[in-house]
Amino acid sequence: MLAALVVFGLRLATPAVAHGNGIGDLYAAAEGAVLELHAASGKVVGAVDMSPDPSSIAFSNDGRSLYVATGAREVARIDIQTIQVQEVLAMPTEITAIAVPRGTTAVAAGPGGRELLLADLESRAVHRTSPLPGAADLLAADRREFRALAARSGSTWLAVVDAATAAVSILDVQARVVGLAVDRAGGAGFVVTEAPDQLLRIRLDHPAVLWTVGLPSAPTAVTSTAFGPVVAGASESWTTDGLAARAWSSEGAPSGVVAASDDGDFVYLGQPSGVLAIGRGGRIDRVIGLGSRGGAHGLAAFPARASLATTGASTSPPASVAMPVTSTLPEQSRALADRSGLFLVAAAVFLVLLAAGLVVVHRLPPRVRD
């Protein structure tokens, strides 16, 4: 009896973290599938087959859903805990790019129209913005900022869209747009261009160029990190303080897509053979091979701290970042584990004390027990 109670108590004292299927750090749109990647192990830990090939992916603010554009007249919703397509949202035109700013409205674009589509992820209602100068194929958003950026590759115009009001502002950057990113600190965005090769920081509320930094060669993409913007190029990457560009990392191969971990401490670079995970100092920390899937067409970081952060990198967000009020799945799991752990430890101690009391009573002489 005593042994059974002790074992039962110890089992109760070991909390189980509600953590789904072991959620990855990063998700990649690749040939024929959306891949779930774990950065610390450098492995592909899950896959959702898709047809046509996924071209763009974006997370909901709470991290529960991943939205996928494939070029069809629909957007697929992948449930992150089950790693399965749970729903297909019908769209009025083909969708090749999707982004989700702060809130519950997704911004979508495709070659079939000059308007952006605003899809309410709760009601499923879809609205169109006013026409843009052309059909957008580049989108950027961040879960900390209500506004998103849109542009057409090779064109000189940039659109800033407020997902809550559908208001659109157009800015001529006087150079061919190559890549976009929303500043995780909020209120600004980054644009990389060719002819000339440069990085621009853009004010979002009343769109205007805040500063411009020349780049050593042609850029391919840009992302926002906790230590500033990182620009990918043909064989190396750069960062800047807003005054001058400096070499940050050398990859030796073109990087077509780039994303930052949600904590902002790591950069993920998509290359023809896989994805590189690079830390603050510009050192390649992990290489995640995608096998027969080839390179990544799009990347989306899960909204939580990267698993690579356990290697000692700082994970504190900048003081200027206003975090969303919604919590993400790992944060909920940790909170649940903390609360249940305290209760279960208390229950285990009670059972052990009860068992010890029963032993003492059992060993007493019959007269004392009576």
* Angle at 52 (CA atoms; ends 109, 152), nearest 5 degrees: 25
pLDDT, tens digit, 9 for 90 and up, residues 187-209: 999 999 999 999 999 999 999 99
pLDDT, tens digit, 9 for 90 and up, residues 155-188: 999 999 999 999 999 999 999 999 999 999 999 9
pLDDT, tens digit, 9 for 90 and up, residues 239-277: 999 999 999 999 877 778 999 999 999 999 998 889 999
- Does residue 361 have a pLDDT over 80? no
**49-58, 67-76, 203-212, 314-323: the lowest-pLDDT one:** 314-323
Spell out the domain ranges in the chain. 2-11+333-369, 21-326
Instruction: Tell me which of 116 and 330 has the higher pLDDT.
Output: 116
- What pLDDT score does 353 carry? 55
Contact 303, 327 (CB under 8 A): no
The two structure tokens encoding residue 98: 């999707």
Contact 282, 290 (CB under 8 A): no
- What pLDDT score does 362 carry? 52
Which residues have C-beta within 8 Å of that of residue 49, sequence separation ≥ 6?
Answer: 32, 33
Instruction: Tell me which of 313 and 299 has the higher pLDDT.
Output: 299
- What pLDDT score does 253 carry? 74
pLDDT tier, 357 (very low <50, low <70, confident <90, very high otherwise)? low
Contact 150, 136 (CB under 8 A): yes
CA atoms within 13 A on the CB side of 106: 29
- What pLDDT score does 203 carry? 98
Residue 242 φ/ψ, nearest 5 degrees: 95, -5
- What pLDDT score does 292 carry? 86
The two structure tokens encoding residue 221: 């993409």
- Does residue 317 have a pLDDT over 70? no
Contact 67, 77 (CB under 8 A): yes
pLDDT, tens digit, 9 for 90 and up, residues 89-133: 999 999 999 999 999 999 999 998 999 999 999 999 999 999 999
Averaged pLDDT for residues 141-167: 97
pLDDT tier, 151 (very low <50, low <70, confident <90, very high otherwise)? very high
- Does residue 319 have a pLDDT over 90? no
- What pLDDT score does 350 carry? 54
Instruction: Tell me which of 369 and 283 has the higher pLDDT.
Output: 283
- Does residue 83 have a pLDDT over 60? yes
Which residue, chain included where needed, has tokens 């621009």?
200
- What pLDDT score does 329 carry? 53
The two structure tokens encoding residue 200: 């621009």
Per CATH, is 21-326 categorized as 3.30.930.10?
A: no
Q: Taking all residues of the chain, what is their mean pLDDT, rounded to a whole number? A: 84
- Does residue 359 have a pLDDT over 60? no
- What pLDDT score does 22 carry? 56
- What pLDDT score does 135 carry? 97
Which residue, chain included where needed, has tokens 């070991």?
14
- Does residue 14 have a pLDDT over 90? no
Helices (H), the chain: 2-12, 329-363, 366-369
Instruction: Tell me which of 341 and 252 has the higher pLDDT.
Output: 252
